[in-house]
Structure 1
Amino acid sequence: MKTKAVRMYGMDDLRLEEFELPDIKEDEILVKVISDSICMSTYKLVKQGKKHKRAPQNIDTNPIIIGHEFAGDIVKVGSKWQDQFKPGQKFSLQPALNYKGSLASPGYSYEYFGGACTYCIIPHEVMELGCLLNYDGDSYFEASLGEPMSCIIGGYHANYHTNKQNYHHAMGTKTGGNILILGGCGPMGLGAISYGLIMENKPKRLVITDISDEKIKRAKEVISEETAAAKGIELIYVNTATMKDPVSELMELTEGHGYDDVFVYIPIREVAEMGDRLLAFDGCMNFFAGPTNNEFKAEINLYNAHYTSTHIMGTTGGNTDDLKEALYLSGKKLIEPAVMVTHVGGIDSIAEATINLPNIPGGKKLTYTQFNMPLTAIDDFAQLGKTDPLFEKLSESCKKHRGLWNSEAEKILFEHFGVN
């Protein structure tokens, strides 16, 4: 059968093409992709081309399908998996495979397996690793956003703390502690706030920094200080660009204690160094942001590492348990992945949006692959709705949900474009 997909042939070379998929083997599964959100990691892939560790060296002749944050419906199941999966099931997927030491992942490495397409073939290793998950939620976009949420959740779980009595590491952020998220008003930061308000290791205080008043304003609108206070957590948004001495002023917010857990969400040397300086005794800093420069470095205070037990780590991606947790919490409406989304588009918008991702303002770009639609900011729905009935309906739906994308809006799109 034919599929339409955005394929990468090399550095900055993305093409939307239609081509024939081979018949599935007995250990493969054919799926219909419905939603695929665009990740900054894909932008980094496109900027590196063959130089990326996950990209095959023959992409110029055997291009790969990009996109790894996707969800959809199972269409056909090979005989090996027919006792576990059935046609018509919704699916979500954990793309961090690590199959027998291979770096191959959907969206980076496969000719017939990725999210920016109408149909694709899931290979045997995905099912063998338990990375194809049944999804029972009422929207596809939340399943797509399960992948970035799993990365966020994985970061929280991977932090650790020590003690002087033994050598046991207490995993996770410190209960009742101070958490600092540097550069936290972007899409991933907002997801981190949403999870931080409901997680088991409940913090005393969440401090979120950014240097954009506009981004801070939106963050307050979608996750307010009052919402956090109702959950017993002090949530503070600050613009460090307006501070005379960010380190001392951020330290004052903790009554001089410092931050038990620091997450660096932007790959800027000065920000990482500031996070290190703000660590409390036994504080853990997680360098969460992935730099494109493989020589990226920052100066870390090793005196503090020795005498005050500060420690530095980094996480990338989440595991399957993190994804299961993300899907469960989303399904129970305990977290709100929609806070990440600011733009919605169709399959024809993916290539240009990916190549220009850092230059497009706002947060997460969510795309639906079964139809064409220009990438459109949710904030522009109302204006477009004055002349377009579709955007009028979408605007009304988002207004009912604090300006956020939602399952009702998704269904409006599906009805308009005839997606079954």
Structure 2
Amino acid sequence: MSNQVLKHYRFAEKPLPQAQYTWPLFGSGLDQLGKDGRAVEASLPHFEDDQLLMRIDAISLCFTDLKEIDQGENHPRLKDRNLQTNPIIPGHELSMTVVGVGSELSDQYSIGQRFTIQPDVWVNGKSIPFCFGMDGAYRQYAVMDQRILAGDAGNYLIPIPDEMSYSAAAITEPWACVEAAYRMGYRTSLRKGGKTLLLGASEARSGYSIAPKWLADSAPEVVYCCDVPADLKEILVSRSSTLGFQLKEISREEIATLKITFDDLLFLDGPAENVLAYSNHLEKGAVIALYNAKPLSSEIEVDLGCLHYDEILYVGASGLEIADAYQKTYPRAEFKKGGTAWILGAGGPMGRMHLQRAIESQSGPATIIASEVSSVRLNALREFFLPLAQKNGKNLIFVNSVEERPEFERVMQECLEQGGIDDIEVMVTLPGVIAESCAYLAPQGIVNIFAGMKRGVKMALDAWQIIGEKQVRFVGHSGSGLDDQKAVVDRCISGQLDPNLSVAAIAGLNQIPDGVRAMKNSVYPGKIVIYPQILDLPLTGLSELKDTHPKVYALLGENGTWNMMAENALLESLLS
């Protein structure tokens, strides 16, 4: 195919087809994707005067897709949907080109414009994600309606310049999830206008105080007291009259039966079992504050699923000033400059993105530990990222915590002797492994639970790490927002980020099931990119292109990385 034909493709100058191929999901399991293992032919979608018709140019496969396909109607996002009669099309990481513009939008959009999408779409306060609340990316064409073009956050489409490859644009969404984990802001006060519960115990100390200005600046609407020491209760009675918040006594039985949820839950010197018993009474973004003068007699249990999905923050202090738990140690979202970071489970697609970000961050860590339990993945990390680390002046250490246990322990002991690890980015879903990693934290170290676990998955933890002098913090984050993805696109445009470093394999539309299967079995270390306008392109690792598409292989970047030149060559050779 000539460059002229590629130009016609890029600017959507060719006539539109009458039909397209799609991959609807009719139930749970990969055998329920499409019909009889094949894509389904459907009419080209009609678009209204206030809508756009998009050609989908690239799709990046994601583990969210895998969960949706595996669980079907059992997925929390699809539990009220009959997929047999009302199937859903998965996929939410994509790059698109405008091929049809409704008459009411002709002054805003034009044929050939390129976009990606932030899939976490909200309309009138309701979440309707692209791929759950509406059909997603596993198809060749899609209509963008007003839910996307004028949702609660505005326009969920993000413009993409012609200089960015289709694959890079598609991968901005997972990169936005990575970026969001470092952009989170956490409260250093009670939630203003919220609901606070102070839960005491028979052994609760007297002498607690609350900084007047701190409380005044963030006064809740209601403060509930349960077994609170008398002197602290007197302070609260006085402050409630001057600040105007309601002060209510509540019993433990009422907490359990009234189903009240709290924005701030303060445990005053109680036993460890209190933490788990009352931690299910929380609003999203709640803070659990732990106060104790000495280590607890047993470990607390932390719900890792709630910490991740509900963005629960654990803070603590050993003193008697309530504000100290919130303000003494700020839970950093960003890496500590010049510190030591550990990417725990660095070999998967998302782990590799976190590792790339740590290496390329000019204000990030000086030393980075990348751990894996697979020697194959670890060798792939070493081969790919060591040159990048050397280029950026970073000390990159690779460890296998299972197959090379003595070396792992030596490296970690050396880290402890040098002060400990400042940031642990968690990509694994094993509570015991996560708990073990905490032993290597530096004072004021941060554990970021990036990997998503089901609510109810618990980790036993010595709460003194949070309360005592070490003052470590546990944070978690799920998904991304429109601003996060726009920030990633801006970084790509400025040359600060190359998402294509994450690409490990490519395929055509008919090979989506092969890609999902390979993702499930961790066949490739990075992202799998689908080119849906190419119906048949066998799933191919980048190194395999040497035999299957040598002209494309010859254009790969340094270290065999995907890029726009290779993508153009692929399109030139196969779109015809």
The sequence identity of aligned pairs, in percent, is: 26
Show the 5 A alignment for 1:279-298.
Answer: 279-291=441-453, 293-298=454-459
Letter matched to residue 231 of structure 1: N
SS in 2 for 1:11: coil
Letter matched to residue 401 of structure 1: E
Question: Aligned partners of 1:410 and 1:45: how far apart in 2?
Answer: 29
Contact 2:400–2:408 (CA<8 Å) still a contact in 1?
no
Q: Deviations over 1:213-242 (max 9, x none)?
A: 222222222221x53244343222211121
Question: Aligned partners of 1:71 and 1:238: how far apart in 2?
Answer: 36
C-alpha displacement of 1:21? 4.5
Provide closer, same or farther for how the CA distance between residues 151 and 239 of structure 1 changes in structure 2, counting only shifts above 3 A. Answer: same
Aligned match for 1:118, one of 133, 140, 144: 140
Show the 5 A alignment for 1:211-360.
Answer: 211-224=373-386, 226-241=387-402, 242-244=404-406, 246=408, 249-253=411-415, 255-291=417-453, 293-307=454-468, 308-355=470-517, 357-360=519-522
Tell me which residue corresponds to 1:388. none
Are 2:407 and 1:407 aligned? no
Question: Aligned partners of 1:100 and 1:261: how far apart in 2?
Answer: 38
Contact 2:181–2:333 (CA<8 Å) still a contact in 1?
no
Are 2:551 and 1:393 aligned? yes
Question: Aligned partners of 1:52 and 1:238: how far apart in 2?
Answer: 35
Question: Aligned partners of 1:247 and 1:269: how far apart in 2?
Answer: 19
Letter matched to residue 303 of structure 1: W
Contact 1:243–1:249 (CA<8 Å) still a contact in 2?
no
Show the 5 A alignment for 1:120-269.
Answer: 120-128=142-150, 129=153, 130-136=155-161, 137-158=163-184, 166=327, 171-199=333-361, 201-224=363-386, 226-241=387-402, 242-244=404-406, 246=408, 249-253=411-415, 255-269=417-431
Question: Aligned partners of 1:100 and 1:271: how far apart in 2?
Answer: 41
Are 2:537 and 1:373 aligned? yes
Are 2:573 and 1:416 aligned? yes
TM-score scaled by length of structure 1? 0.89
SS in 2 for 1:7: coil
Provide closer, same or farther for how the CA distance between residues 214 and 333 of structure 1 changes in structure 2, counting only shifts above 3 A. Answer: farther
Provide closer, same or farther for how the CA distance between residues 216 and 336 of structure 1 changes in structure 2, counting only shifts above 3 A. Answer: farther
Provide closer, same or farther for how the CA distance between residues 252 and 259 of structure 1 changes in structure 2, counting only shifts above 3 A. Answer: same
Structure 1: segments with no counterpart, 5+ residues: 386-390
Letter matched to residue 10 of structure 1: G
Contact 1:191–1:336 (CA<8 Å) still a contact in 2?
no
Provide closer, same or farther for how the CA distance between residues 171 and 210 of structure 1 changes in structure 2, counting only shifts above 3 A. Answer: closer
Provide closer, same or farther for how the CA distance between residues 413 and 238 of structure 1 changes in structure 2, counting only shifts above 3 A. Answer: same
Aligned match for 1:49, one of 60, 63, 72: 72
Q: What is the number of equivalent residue pairs in this alignment?
A: 408
SS in 1 for 2:505: strand
C-alpha displacement of 1:205? 1.8
Contact 1:161–1:282 (CA<8 Å) still a contact in 2?
no
Q: Deviations over 1:70-114 (max 9, x none)?
A: 00201123345444332210111111224344332112232xx32
Tell me which residue corresponds to 2:47. 24
C-alpha displacement of 1:41? 0.9
Tell me which residue corresponds to 1:62. 86
Which protein is bigger by CA-based radius of gyration? 2
Question: Aligned partners of 1:255 and 1:232: how far apart in 2?
Answer: 22
Contact 2:98–2:114 (CA<8 Å) still a contact in 1?
yes
TM-score scaled by length of structure 2? 0.66
C-alpha displacement of 1:252? 1.8
Provide closer, same or farther for how the CA distance between residues 255 and 131 of structure 1 changes in structure 2, counting only shifts above 3 A. Answer: farther
SS in 2 for 1:35: strand
SS in 1 for 2:566: helix
Question: Aligned partners of 1:158 and 1:329: how far apart in 2?
Answer: 18
Q: Deviations over 1:107-142 (max 9, x none)?
A: 2232xx321111011232222233201100331000
Letter matched to residue 368 of structure 1: Y
SS in 1 for 2:100: strand
Contact 2:186–2:331 (CA<8 Å) still a contact in 1?
yes
Question: Aligned partners of 2:443 and 2:186: how far apart in 1?
Answer: 13
Moved more, 214-223 or 258-267: 214-223
Question: Aligned partners of 1:266 and 1:375: how far apart in 2?
Answer: 26
Letter matched to residue 284 of structure 1: I
SS in 2 for 1:244: helix
Structure 2: segments with no counterpart, 5+ residues: 1-17, 189-322
Letter matched to residue 42 of structure 2: F
Contact 1:194–1:336 (CA<8 Å) still a contact in 2?
no
Q: Deviations over 1:288-311 (max 9, x none)?
A: 1123x4432222221211112222
Letter matched to residue 566 of structure 2: A
C-alpha displacement of 1:279? 2.4
Question: Aligned partners of 2:105 and 2:429: how far apart in 1?
Answer: 41
C-alpha displacement of 1:17? 0.7
SS in 2 for 1:280: strand
C-alpha displacement of 1:200? 5.7
SS in 2 for 1:397: coil
Question: Aligned partners of 2:92 and 2:551: how far apart in 1?
Answer: 29
C-alpha displacement of 1:254? 5.3
Question: Aligned partners of 1:248 and 1:126: how far apart in 2?
Answer: 52
Provide closer, same or farther for how the CA distance between residues 395 and 161 of structure 1 changes in structure 2, counting only shifts above 3 A. Answer: farther
C-alpha displacement of 1:22? 4.2
Provide closer, same or farther for how the CA distance between residues 122 and 251 of structure 1 changes in structure 2, counting only shifts above 3 A. Answer: farther
Letter matched to residue 5 of structure 1: T
C-alpha displacement of 1:251? 4.4
Contact 1:247–1:278 (CA<8 Å) still a contact in 2?
no
Q: Deviations over 1:331-386 (max 9, x none)?
A: 3332232232221100001124224532141121111000121111222222x34x
Question: Aligned partners of 1:289 and 1:170: how far apart in 2?
Answer: 18
Question: Aligned partners of 2:332 and 2:431: how far apart in 1?
Answer: 28
Tell me which residue corresponds to 2:102. 78
C-alpha displacement of 1:26? 3.4
Question: Aligned partners of 2:509 and 2:68: how far apart in 1?
Answer: 19
